[in-house]
Structure 1
Amino acid sequence: MKYYLCKFVPPRADFLTTMSADELTWMGQHGVFLNDLLAKNVIVAHGPVIDENGGYGVSLYQIADQEDITSFTSQDPIVKNGVGHYEHYVMLHLASRP
Structure 2
Amino acid sequence: MKHYCCRLLAPRSTFPGDMTPAEAAAMHEHVGYWRERMREGKVVVFGPVLDPAGPWGLAVLQLPDDGEPGALIDHDPVIRAGIGFRFEIHPMQAVLPEPSRD
Q: Normalising to structure 1: TM-score of the pair?
A: 0.93
Quote the offset at 1:93 in angstroms. Answer: 2.1
Which residue identity is paired with 1:88? I
Length, aligned pairs only:
98
Unpaired runs of at least 5, structure 2: none
Quick check: which one's helix share is greater?
1
CA distance in 1, matches of 2:22, 2:86: 17
Q: Which runs of 5+ in 1 are unaligned?
A: none
Give the equivalent residue in structure 2 for 1:82.
82
- The offset of 1:95, in angstroms, is 3.2
Secondary structure of 1:45's aligned partner: strand
Q: Distance in 1 between matches of 2:64 and 2:16?
A: 32
Task: Report 1:1-98 matches (<5 A).
Answer: 1-83=1-83, 84-95=85-96
Instruction: Let me know the Cα RMSD of the aligned residues.
Output: 1.4
Which ranges of 4 or more aligned residues in structure 1 deviate by more than 6 Å?
none
Distance across 2 between alignment mates of 1:31 and 1:6 = 15
Which entry has the higher C-alpha Rg, 1 or 2? 2
Shift of 1:36: 0.3
Q: Residues of 1 paired with 2:6 and 2:30: CA distance?
A: 14
3-state SS in 1 of match to 2:79: helix
CA distance in 2, matches of 1:69, 1:34: 13
Inter-partner Cα distance in structure 2 for 1:72 and 1:63: 10
Question: Among the aligned pairs, what percent are the same residue?
Answer: 26
Q: CA deviation at 1:13?
A: 0.5
SS in 2 for 1:22: helix
